[in-house]
Amino acid sequence: MKFLFLVASNLKQKKLRTALTLLSIFVAFVLYGMLCAFNAALNGGVAAAGADRLIVRHKVSLIMTMPVNYEARITKIPGVAEAMHWTWFNGIYQNEPKNFFGSFPVNPDLLRTIFPEYLIPEEQRQAWAKTRTGAVVGRDLVKKFGWKVGDRVPLMSPIWPRAGDEAWQFDIVGIYDGAKRTTDTTAFFFRYDYFDEGRAHGKGEVGWYNVRVSNPDHAGDVARAIDEEFANSAYETKSEPEAAFMQGFAAQIGNIGAIVMGIVGAVFFTILLVAGNTMAQAVRERTQELGVLKSLGFTNELVLMLVLAESLLIATLGGFGGLATAWGIASMGSPVPSMLPVFFLPLEFVGIGAAMAVGLGLVAGIVPAVQAMRLEIATALRRNA
């Protein structure tokens, strides 16, 4: 206890400098934590991708549509277990552009079998099958807008206007949860038959297909067979594993992510250098004090431990505090859920950050600690503070 009291007393000698050093380390680790959360969000789709699923889209661009009757032809290809079409609806709530989210007309039965990570209670699934205007909504999206089962939600879509230029009306019949933390729970699913009958144009068109293969080891062969099936047609396809598709999608934002990571990384490294130099300076200023401690019977090893303990205490207080703050911010949810629906700070990065905080304390303190250990009493007492 006396040892810890002495460490704390030393740090209190220059309260402003100690506070600023703590703040700099704290900010550095908050930046580190948010950067890790941002990186996890960009790659969340890759982590959640199913090994037995393929994405089949238009060969030219993802924004180009394909015929809905491709589904039956894809299903007949050897190695294909099931195929399900998707379409980006781009629903907007309360006619407010910022209130848009991932919304998709789908086949409820196929959603259950191809995407088992979407956990929908059976009674709600049955209600969806009986309700033409029914919708199943992710837990996070429900929390954002305060919806509940039984609510009627009007949506507008700039891509797929409803015939008569009226708002689309949906009845929330279910709320789904994610089987994993990386599962997106910000989506809005509704029935394709209701959508296709009500849209003003593009009837019989879909955006892309998700295909579940019988054997994941043969996914590449199945992808080639699908593309060969539609080669030289008006709607040629490009098929690839879901993980590869998600990785390619994330790579489109990759340059921005690299710029952000580079800037924050440089700031983080600079702050750590400043903090380390500040802690070393604090030890140098107490040379006479260290000489007095040695004259009172403190051994070289005890002086070494004292200086290292001061460095470790200030580094871990700032570092752990920054990591805890970053964890709390990330736990509040994504700042842009429409673009990054899955947003959290992975535990492995928290562990790495904690090790970095300890490492910072050791690296910043080891040199002045060794110098203090080797310091001669007579030399220390003659030196001006």
Percent of the chain with pLDDT over 90: 39
Q: How far apart are alpha carbons 346 and 33 in whole angstroms?
A: 9
pLDDT of residue 376: 63
pTM over 0.75: no
Averaged pLDDT, 344-361 = 86
Q: Are residues 267 and 244 in the same domain?
A: no
pLDDT at 247 over 50: yes
**385: burial class by Cβ within 10 Å (0-12, 13-18, 19+)?**
exposed
Last residue of a domain, one of 213, 234, 252: 252
H helix intervals, 199-286:
219-229, 242-252, 254-284
186 and 57 share a domain? Answer: yes
Q: How far apart are CA 112 and CA 93, in angstroms?
A: 26
- pLDDT computed for residue 35 by the predictor: 82
Residue ranges with strand state E in the chain: 53-58, 66-67, 80-86, 91-93, 100-101, 103-106, 118-119, 134-138, 152-156, 168-178, 188-191, 205-206, 208-213, 237-241
Shared domain check, 201 and 322: no
Q: Is the pLDDT at 1 greater than 60, yes or no?
A: no
Structural domain including 300 reads 2-44+254-382
Judge if 103 and 228 occupy the same domain: yes
12 and 148 part of one domain: no
Does one domain contain both 234 and 361?
no
Q: Which of 195, 230, 252 is the last residue of a domain?
A: 252
Cα 20 from Cα 290, distance rounded (Å): 24
pLDDT at site 136: 97
pLDDT at 279: 66
Q: Mean pLDDT in the chain? A: 82
Of 252, 270, 292, the last residue of a domain is 252
Please write the tens of the pLDDT for every residue from 142-190.
998 999 999 999 999 999 999 887 899 999 999 999 988 778 888 999 9
The arithmetic mean of pLDDT across residues 236-264, rounded, is: 69
With vertex at residue 316, the alpha carbon angle to CA 312 and CA 317, rounded to the nearest 5 degrees, is 115
Going by C-alpha positions, the residue among 69, 58, 64, 61 that lies closest to residue 204 is 69
For the cut 50, the answer to whether the pLDDT of residue 385 exceeds it is no
Do residues 224 and 296 both lie within one domain?
no
Q: What is the pLDDT of residues 93-119, one digit of tens each?
A: 988 878 888 899 999 999 989 998 899
Integer CA distances (angstroms), 323 to 199, 249, 320, 349, 354, in order = 48, 29, 5, 9, 8
Which of 13-27, 226-240, 257-271 has the highest mean predicted lDDT (pLDDT)? 226-240
Average pLDDT over residues 190-215: 94
Note whether 279 and 300 are same-domain residues: yes
What three-state secondary structure class fits 31? Answer: helix
Do 95 and 243 reside in the same domain of the chain? Answer: yes
CA dihedral in degrees (119, 97, 335, 44; nearest 10)?
50
Same-domain status, 69 and 12:
no
What is the amino acid identity at position 139? Answer: R
- pLDDT at 63 (0 to 100): 81
Q: Are 177 and 266 within one domain?
A: no
User: Is residue 268 domain-shared with residue 375, that is, in the same domain?
Assistant: yes
How many separate domains does the chain show? 2
